[in-house]
């Protein structure tokens, strides 16, 4: 039997990159997964790939910061798969600047996607989780559910040019610590994974010229200068950046039954990189 057989998971930002790798990993271990992406096409592609591999998945496209999205996301899992056992708050991007040049829009956008959106998703799930826990307790059952919030080493040690991102990711750690105490009574393990350098479209050196992504009409510059990227990789004790699959593995660890007595923790997935 696969370790997540019978479990239902929602993974925000799972059409591409690390989120996609997380969704694929959870599905490969038996979880039924609700896949989310800002754009419908990548979400549907991940769903198709999960089904092709023998798993079960549904798409829930849309912005995690949109009004009403959190309720829709949770409802998709409950209506489509009959429950909710695993919540992965992964969606996000960076929009960097030094503080004197950072606009209110940059600050608010990053706080909204990395901190406010996870709060709203977790709040939307609260009623179901509380009711399910009460029913299971009355039946003499102890059923554990999992929340994994995604942070970054920038949230633990700060990063120049990223006051918005560092603050949001530090907030994800605080959210994790508080909710672990609130939801322990419901047998919900609430943990956090802080990523170091992981190779995705947001961090890889652009093939030619400046690279950017479109986020709800905003053109956001992405990618890292090749020389800077090489220098950063040399500073990692394991000698290289991580892959999305390796990042997904660290999240998966906190979703397994072996983590049932682990809560309120932040696991650094950074190849030995120090904060």
**Beta carbons within 10 angstroms of residue 191's beta carbon:** 23
- Looking at residue 206, the DSSP 8-state letter turns out to be P
Residue 255 backbone class (left: φ over 0; alpha: ψ -120 to 50; beta: rest)? alpha
Beta carbons of 157 and 275 less than 8 angstroms apart: yes
- Looking at residue 213, the DSSP 8-state letter turns out to be E
- Looking at residue 156, the DSSP 8-state letter turns out to be H
**Beta carbons within 10 angstroms of residue 104's beta carbon:** 7
Beta carbons of 74 and 50 less than 8 angstroms apart: no
**Beta carbons within 10 angstroms of residue 2's beta carbon:** 12
What is the spatial distance between Cα 190 and Cα 177, in angstroms, rounded to a whole number?
8
Helical residues (DSSP H) of the chain, grouped into ranges? 17-28, 40-52, 69-81, 104-111, 117-138, 153-157, 163-183, 226-234, 244-253
What is the spatial distance between Cα 265 and Cα 193, in angstroms, rounded to a whole number?
8
Verify whether residue 165 is a known catalytic residue: yes
Nearest to 200 by CA among 244, 159, 235, 169: 244
User: Which of 165, 186, 252, 261 does the annotation list as catalytic?
Assistant: 165
Pairing of strands 218-222, 211-215: antiparallel
What is the spatial distance between Cα 195 and Cα 186, in angstroms, rounded to a whole number?
28
Pairing of strands 266-269, 8-11: unpaired
- Positions marked catalytic: 165
């Amino acid at each position: 039997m696969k370790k997540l057989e019978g479990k239902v998971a929602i993974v925000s930002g799972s059409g591409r990159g690390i989120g996609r790798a997380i969704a694929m990993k959870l599905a490969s271990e038996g979880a039924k997964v609700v896949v989310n992406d800002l754009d419908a096409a990548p979400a549907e592609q991940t769903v198709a790939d999960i089904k092709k591999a023998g798993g079960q998945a549904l798409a829930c496209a849309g912005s995690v910061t949109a009004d009403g999205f959190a309720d829709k996301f949770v409802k998709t899992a409950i209506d489509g798969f009959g429950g909710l056992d695993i919540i992965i708050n992964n969606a996000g991007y960076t929009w960097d600047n030094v503080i004197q040049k950072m606009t209110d829009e940059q600050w608010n956008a990053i706080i909204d996607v990395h901190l406010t959106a996870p709060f709203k998703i977790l709040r939307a799930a609260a009623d179901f989780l509380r009711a399910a826990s009460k029913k299971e307790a009355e039946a003499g059952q102890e059923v554990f559910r999992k929340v994994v919030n995604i942070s970054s080493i920038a949230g633990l040690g700060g990063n120049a040019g990223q006051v918005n991102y560092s603050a949001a990711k530090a907030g994800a750690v605080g959210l994790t610590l508080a909710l672990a105490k609130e939801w322990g009574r419901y047998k919900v393990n609430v943990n956090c994974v802080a990523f170091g350098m992981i190779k995705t479209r947001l961090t890889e050196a652009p093939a030619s010229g400046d690279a950017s992504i479109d986020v709800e009409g905003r053109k956001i510059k992405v990618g890292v200068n090749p020389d800077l990227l090489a220098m950063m990789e040399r500073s990692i004790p394991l000698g290289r950046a991580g892959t999305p699959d390796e990042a997904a593995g660290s999240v998966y660890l906190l979703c397994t039954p072996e983590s049932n007595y682990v809560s309120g923790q932040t696991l650094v997935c950074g190849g030995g990189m120090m904060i």
